[in-house]
Structure 1
Amino acid sequence: MEDTTFFYSSVTLLFLIFVFKLWFLPTTLRRKNLPPSPRPSLPVIGHLHLLKHPMHRTFHDLAKKYGPIFSLRFGSRLVVVVSSASAAEECFTKNDIVFANRPKLLMSKYLGYNYTTLTQAPYGDHWRNLRRFTAIEVFSSNRLNMFLSIRKDETKRLLEKLSRSSSQGGFSKVELKTMFSELTFNIMMRMIAGKRYYGDDVEDEEEARRFRRIMKEATSYGGASNPGDFLPIMNWIDGGDFKNKVVSLSKRVDEFLQGLVDEHRIKKAGLESTNTMIDHLLSLQESQPEYYTDQIIKGIILVLLLAGTDTSSVTLEWAMSNLVNNPKVLKKARAELDDQVGQDA
């Protein structure tokens, strides 16, 4: 009985010490020069109680009250929210090195090949090499022009799909979010591996279903999906369930990507000519095998799929939303397209 009482007393004391350090620590000992912050910041959870969906409106309301730059405490993590275009530009130009690192989250470790991908690697030589590679070998004008026909074809397919929807009796409601997502995934996968996994002309339906399941799960776990990243005690309460799911997902992702790399390696050895990003990466591997390992190649592919698709589709979705909400701008854009492209294109 006495041992039990001592145990609970010790746990309570440790908890009170933790709360004291987090909440009652004198302001002179806290970080200085932080942007304005809402009060109160609650013990343990900080400002997590303020977050409500849709998130962008919550941040907009806070920005109206505290200014374009404000700070929040998400559990044990400090977050600075920048909602001004000019301030955001300054963050990523004049102060780009300051903001170059990313927080070490659970997803970053297991789905980011132990923090070695472009989006998760710490600032340093390895990160600079990956950034240089993507700038020259992926996003250069020459490389993008090589895949122009793919972008044209996928855009044409989308327009034809929209046309079929509208021809079924006048106006019809369409769900553009899914269409834009499928558009960007098909463009990216055709550039990476020469394959379509959504819509028509899918060569291997089982492989496509497997890809779609993996990507859906990966995007659902992305961002701030793990409470334990902000409230470490949740990792103990969770019993490792979230971690086990992420580890399982990372193994399936790695297996799928390795299959793509091996498939193109076999084709390349058999002198079967293809012109995809994987083929180019394998050529670089032949000249620099010590750096362009299979893990680096898979990491580059994964970043292109996760970071290069959702951002593009969301941008298109918001662009369409803003056009619909601004009829004058929409009318001007339509007139410009009719004038420059024509209605019969």
Structure 2
Amino acid sequence: MVQNWSVFVSVSSFLLLLLLSKFILRKTRQHKSLPPSPPSYPIIGHLHLIKEPVHRVLQQLSYKYGPIFALQFGSCPILVISSPTAVEECFTKYDIIFANRPHLLFFKHINYNSTTIGSAPYGPHWRNLRGFTTLEIFSPTKLNTFLSIRQEEIRSLVKNLYSYSQQSFAKVEMKSRLSELSFNIIMRMVAGKGYFGAEVEDYEESRVFRRVIGEVFALGGASNPGDFLPPLQ
């Protein structure tokens, strides 16, 4: 038993040292071409620096390391840019370089293995999707076809707001109403029926749809440790 434990510790130590050496060598090779970067830890990189609120942390780091600096979130290299001029260049002069998206577990399981227009990497498949959506969804002809749907949904929203303020001044929460307006317009264009509001056709189906949408948004807004540390996948 003791001998087996010694072998396990030895093998684990060797693998850890091998992983650390590869990490250090990669950092050394990339150091000359990378922007300034704060000190990092092996394996986790700069993940220990990220705390809530994240934008405040990045702002403090930009004060110290400049408007362009590099971070390493586990195995994922991160480039942080706070200069408007540099951001403009990224979206114009170097837009092809920054067009790709990270391969996240969320995209794999929710977005059909990163094959949707919002998750697919830049390439022939993404260009085909963009061309299809431009012609079949966002073209003036298609948008005019669905004009009546937008008018009906906006009219329904106005009626709902009027019912709250018919007697006297009333305070209403607009964020959820505008979200429901957008979702109903999209779903009526795609599926032919809405899933939000008091005029839904199938309440049970609508309830399930709203629950799924809520779960998708919750997962999409959360960071999965496996995206930065592959062994945790």
> Per the shorter chain, which TM-score range?
0.7 to 0.9
> Tell me, which stretches of 5 or more residues in structure 2 are unaligned?
none
Partner amino acid for 2:66? G
Q: Deviation of residue 171 (structure 1)? A: 4.9
The aligned counterpart of 2:16 is: 15
The aligned counterpart of 1:34 is: 34
Q: Which runs of 4+ in 1 moved over 4 A?
A: 166-169
Q: Distance in 2 between matches of 1:107 and 1:165?
A: 39
Partner amino acid for 2:49? L
| Superposed counterparts of 1:255-274, under 5 Å | none
Q: Deviation of residue 5 (structure 1)? A: 0.7
The aligned counterpart of 2:117 is: 118
Which structure shows the higher helix fraction? 1
Q: Deviation of residue 20 (structure 1)? A: 3.8
| Superposed counterparts of 1:1-345, under 5 Å | 1-22=2-23, 24-25=24-25, 28-37=28-37, 39-167=38-166, 169-172=168-171, 174-223=172-221, 225-235=223-233
> Tell me, which stretches of 5 or more residues in structure 1 are unaligned?
236-345
Q: Deviation of residue 223 (structure 1)? A: 4.9
CA RMSD of aligned residues (A): 2.5
Deviations 1:31-77 (A, max 9, x none): 5332332x221222212122223333333333344333322111110
Partner amino acid for 2:208? R
Matched position secondary structure for 1:102: coil
Matched position secondary structure for 2:96: coil
Q: Distance in 1 between matches of 2:11 and 2:170?
A: 68
Partner amino acid for 1:29? R
Q: Distance in 2 between matches of 1:54 and 1:179?
A: 27
- How many pairs does the alignment contain? 232
Q: Distance in 2 between matches of 1:66 and 1:166?
A: 52
Q: Deviation of residue 205 (structure 1)? A: 0.9
Of the two structures, which has the highest relative contact order with CA contacts closer than 8 Å and spacing of 6 or more? 1
Change (3 A) 1:26 1:125: closer
Matched position secondary structure for 1:78: strand
Change (3 A) 1:139 1:30: same
TM-score by length of 1: 0.60
Q: Deviation of residue 197 (structure 1)? A: 0.6
Matched position secondary structure for 1:103: coil
TM-score by length of 2: 0.86
Q: Distance in 2 between matches of 1:78 and 1:103?
A: 10
